[in-house]
Amino acid sequence: MSNELTPIDDSVVPAHAPRATDVNPVSEKRAEQQVAILFGLSGVGSLLLIYSYIFVKDTVFIFIPIMGNQNAQQLGIGIGMAMSLFFIGIAAIHWAKTLMPDKEIVNHRHEFRSSDEDRAELVQTVKEGVAGVQLGRRKLIKRSLGAAVGLFALPPVLLLRDLGPLPGKKLEMTNWKAGTRLLTDPGNRPILASDLEVGSVVQVLPAVEDLEHRPLSDIAKDPVLLIRLRPEEFQLEPDRLAMTHEGIIAFSKICSHMGCAVALYEQTTKHLLCPCHQSTFDVTRAAKVIFGPAARPLPQLDITVDAEGYLVARAPFNEAVGPSFWERNSQ
Amino acid sequence: MLLIFALLAIGTTFSVASATVKETQSVLDRSASIEEGKQIFLKGCSSCHGLNAEGASIAPSLIGVGAASVDFQVGTGRMPMADMSTQAMRKAPVYNEEETAALAAYVASLAPGPAIPGESELNYERDGNAAEGGELFRNNCAMCHNFAGQGGALSQGKYAPTLMGVEPKHIYEAMVTGPQSMPVFSDKTITAEEKLSIIKWIKSAEAEPNLGGATMGRIGPVTEGLLAWVLGLGLLIGIAVWLTTRAR
């Protein structure tokens, strides 16, 4: 078969040209010295690192143009480590390029196919092995082996169960219920509707049993942003307007795109921005998406005041907060 | 005995009289400074904000914004605006302290609004708690002003300015009044003490030494990524090219 292969035409490869270091002893000497200097610089870097670590106080700051005031010890350690690694590499490359042999050599590959004798021998060995196992004769072993291997395959399948259970309704439920008070976050203080000035914003969490130990899974779903506008600034459908209280409107703070905290509120434009992907929601139009990748408005929380005048939720969120998931499509 | 009584009587009368004079004087001072503020307002502000500070299509009404708002806007040089751009920028103040105080007194006289916090109300070193301030900052301020208070971009050319080097008084006033795009954080939702904690945290962030080398503006992955991709990758490509060239 090897007869059918033709060698690659290498007539286009230029003939070997000797380097200056191959023919000129002066350049050879110079290259040798250059490599030594580069290795030496690496050593200087290591010594700089050791010196900075041991002798430079971590309270000393020095001024470096562009970078500003820098901690001298950290700077010494950083530059030292960079030098010691960088110059070893540079020296090795320079050494290889200038002094190590650069003559092109031809390295022949052998054929991939094994010789006919080797192939016959392998077949013979396999046949002898199969015969030696005597599976055809020892039925008991054959069956118990089959049972063992079959059972062995079951545990990994069983362990797949740990991928579950499915979250069920958990992703759709928050701690907001009818009558849940809105508390400042942090601070956990209830909020009097009359205390909110026009233009103000409050980060809120629901009042729960244990205020000190809110599970992270709750903090990921519950946050709400409370904003007070002038009531005449709203351009809401009547059902959405009914969910506000005297110009106070509440939205889930979890972005409907990827779940970041949407809390950049521009008082002048009444726009809410998500810092992650710049989705922009118009507060006056029930958090309608006016820019960015978010596919749907932020869920609005239905709020009112209780007998004492504190802000409370009138109903839970009527949709799942946060980004889309398996059972919830983007619309 | 009579002498002592007489002396006492004279002394008391005198001190009462002088107190009355002082009070009258301070009322007079205040109305004088309101009058002075009104003159400055008419010259420097009324062309946009209206002759009675009632506002116009290009500038908001200043009735009820309070002295704190004037002190912030004028004291940081944001007002008067250099040009009608997207956002008033911080610059060297146009009016001196006295003129700013007069303007503030005039605007405050129009309708009640947030007052300028006094020295004693701004003792953040004593009354603030930096750890609590950090928590409040991350929840309420960090999304616009960046996690290290370096400022950040908003929409359509607007931005949240850096908080580094800002006077504690101006930080406090900004929270109370909500200048420009910033919402209001009144004392009812973030108490005065919590505001001092936030200021204390900002000041400690400002004083924080750069132990880990260059901060690159403390704006996180933006500059760090730019440097790694441009300088780091550039260096690697350069070395790779050098590696494959023949030595002469």
In the chain, the amino acid numbered A49 is: L
For residues B85 and B128, membership in a common domain is answered with: no
* Confidence at residue B145, expressed as pLDDT on a 0 to 100 scale: 92
Q: Where are the domains of chain A?
A: 20-98, 171-313
For residues B8 and B77, membership in a common domain is answered with: yes
Domain containing residue B103:
1-116
C-alpha distance from A162 to closest chain B C-alpha (Å): 35
Cβ within 8 Å, pair B246-A102: yes
- Nearest residue in chain A measured CA to CA from B244: A97
Dihedral, CA atoms, A320, A321, A323, A324, nearest 10 degrees? 10
Q: What is the pLDDT of residues A84-114, one digit of tens each?
A: 999 999 999 999 999 998 887 878 888 888 8
Put simply, whether B233 touches A (Cβ < 8 Å) is no
Question: Is B229 within the bounds of a domain?
Answer: no
- Nearest residue in chain B measured CA to CA from A195: B188
> What is the percentage of chain B residues whose pLDDT exceeds 90?
30
Question: Is B144 within the bounds of a domain?
Answer: yes
Please state the domain count of chain B. 2
Mean pLDDT of B102-123: 89
| Band of residue A1 on the pLDDT scale cut at 50, 70, 90 | very low
Cβ within 8 Å, pair B178-A265: no
Bridge partners (DSSP) listed for residue A248: A228, A245
Mean pLDDT of A205-224: 90
**Dihedral angle sign, alpha carbons of residues A94, A98, A100, A103:** positive
Question: How far out from the chain centre does Cα A143 lie?
Answer: 49
User: What is the Cα gyration radius of chain B?
Assistant: 26
Min mean pLDDT across A77-81, A170-174, B234-238 is at A170-174
Cβ within 8 Å, pair B183-A67: no
Tokens 């009820």 label which residue? Answer: B64
CA A276 to CA A261: how far, in whole Å?
Answer: 9
Candidates A297, A285, A272, A298; CA nearest to A236 is A285
Cβ within 8 Å, pair B178-A200: yes
Phi, psi values for residue A22, rounded to 5° = -80, -30
**A14 versus B172: which is more confidently predicted?**
B172
For residues B108 and B82, membership in a common domain is answered with: yes
> What is the percentage of chain A residues whose pLDDT exceeds 90?
56
Bridge partners (DSSP) listed for residue A264: A273
With 0.90 as the threshold, say if the pTM is over it.
no
DSSP letter, residue A101: -
Peptide bond into A18 cis (omega under 30): no
Burial of B89 (0-12, 13-18, 19+ CB in 10 A): middle
User: What is the Cα gyration radius of chain A?
Assistant: 37
> What is the percentage of chain A residues whose pLDDT exceeds 70?
97
Residue B50: other Cβ atoms inside 10 A: 17
For residues B103 and B134, membership in a common domain is answered with: no
Computed over every residue of chain A, the mean pLDDT equals: 89
Sheet with strand A271-273: strands edge to edge:
A264-266, A271-273, A280-282, A288-291
Contacts of B132 in chain A (CB under 8 A): 186
For residues B12 and B103, membership in a common domain is answered with: yes
Contacts of B61 in chain A (CB under 8 A): none
Nearest CB among B189, B194, B243 relative to A191 is that of B189
For residues B127 and B75, membership in a common domain is answered with: no
Q: Is the pLDDT of residue B161 over 60?
A: yes
* Confidence at residue B31, expressed as pLDDT on a 0 to 100 scale: 74
Mean pLDDT of A130-154: 91
* Confidence at residue A207, expressed as pLDDT on a 0 to 100 scale: 92
Domain boundary among B116, B146, B166: B116
Mean pLDDT of A253-277: 90
Residue A4: other Cβ atoms inside 10 A: 5
Burial of B197 (0-12, 13-18, 19+ CB in 10 A): buried
Phi, psi values for residue A185, rounded to 5° = -130, 115
Burial of B68 (0-12, 13-18, 19+ CB in 10 A): buried
Cβ partners under 8 Å of residue B76, min gap 6: B90, B93, B166, B167, B170
Cβ partners under 8 Å of residue B39, min gap 6: none
For residues B131 and B190, membership in a common domain is answered with: yes
- Nearest residue in chain A measured CA to CA from B213: A70
Question: Is B223 within the bounds of a domain?
Answer: no
Q: Is the pLDDT of residue A268 over 80?
A: yes
- The CATH number of residue B140's host domain is 1.10.760.10
Strand A224-228 relative to strand A248-252, pairing: antiparallel
Contacts of B158 in chain A (CB under 8 A): 266, 268
**Dihedral angle sign, alpha carbons of residues A130, A131, A136, A139:** negative
For residues B121 and B81, membership in a common domain is answered with: no
Extended beta strands in chain A, E state: 61-64, 68-71, 182-184, 201-206, 224-228, 248-252, 264-266, 271-273, 280-282, 288-291, 300-301, 303-305, 311-313
- A171-313 CATH fold: Rieske Iron-sulfur Protein (2.102.10)
Mean pLDDT of A171-191: 89
Mean pLDDT of A209-218: 88
Within the 161-190 window of chain B, which residues sit less than 8 Å (CB to CB) from chain A?
178, 180-186, 188-190
Q: Is the pLDDT of residue B16 over 80?
A: no
| Band of residue B234 on the pLDDT scale cut at 50, 70, 90 | very high
* Confidence at residue B10, expressed as pLDDT on a 0 to 100 scale: 58
Cα angle vertex A327, ends A325, A330, to 5°? Answer: 60
